[in-house]
Amino acid sequence: MPRPVIGLSCYLVDAEWGDGVVMSSLIPQWYVDVIHAADADVLVLPPENSADVLERLDGLVLAGGEDVDARIYGEPSDPTADSPVLLRDASELALYRRAKDLGMPVLGICRGVQLMAVAHGGSLIQHLPAVTSEVVHSTGPENYVDHLARFLEGSLIASLLGTEPFVVNSAHHQAVDSPGDLRITGWAQDGTVEVCEDTAAEFCIGVQWHPERPDRRKPDAPLLRAFVQAAQAHQRSSGRSGSSLNSTR
């Protein structure tokens, strides 16, 4: 059986190249590395890709990044929110919904869990410091803060990481408010949502922290291994006979 192929969403940002600043589809190599380390291959999915590409893949990772546009869930944007990246929002929502149609394993990371909640009819807290000061979830861009989380007994995340207080890393000012019809299965010490799951799916989970970071490779390895194992199972059930993206199912 070939290694499963994971679709990985990415940023749409201005980046400096040899001929100037150009809008670019980019992803930190850490995301690719952590999927490779879990024994899967990676296909980076730029915004505007057809969501039908997932029919030739085995799993979907929704990467972190900018705030989801609040207008998608019917609220005005908070002044602290990032400038909306409408193309990325639309693309990832389409990818997620197609993955759900296909019964494909999904792992959402930071922005990813927030987008999952919005896709399920939920909403977001747009500026956490306005509602909680018990836990610091961010001290600025690219500054990761460690704090404790707890997981619901009997949940998927608890089966992988246990029910004892677990150290996670935060770098976010928004968080899930309402999960829609997802189930909240993990919380920070101040009650901030850390994990959401679709309990009707074989493997569909979003985490608010960043398991792709190099310092998280050991503690979060069970989560990544389980995701790749679910992708392998999806590959078998879908009948994909080879690792080529041109293979038919």
212 catalytic residue (yes or no)? yes
- Which of the following is catalytic: 147, 172, 210, 234? 210
Q: Which of 10, 110, 196, 204 is catalytic?
A: 110
Q: Are 186 and 195 in contact (CB under 8 A)?
A: yes
Residue 196 annotated as catalytic:
no
Nearest to 215, CA basis, from 171, 165, 163: 171
- Please name which of 133, 121, 119, 113 lies closest in space to residue 65, comparing C-alpha atoms: 113
**Active-site residue, 127 included:** no
Q: Indicate which residue of 173, 196, 212, 234 is catalytic.
A: 212
Residue 226 — left, alpha, or beta (φ > 0 → left; ψ -120 to 50 → alpha)?
alpha
Which residues have a catalytic role annotated? 110, 210, 212
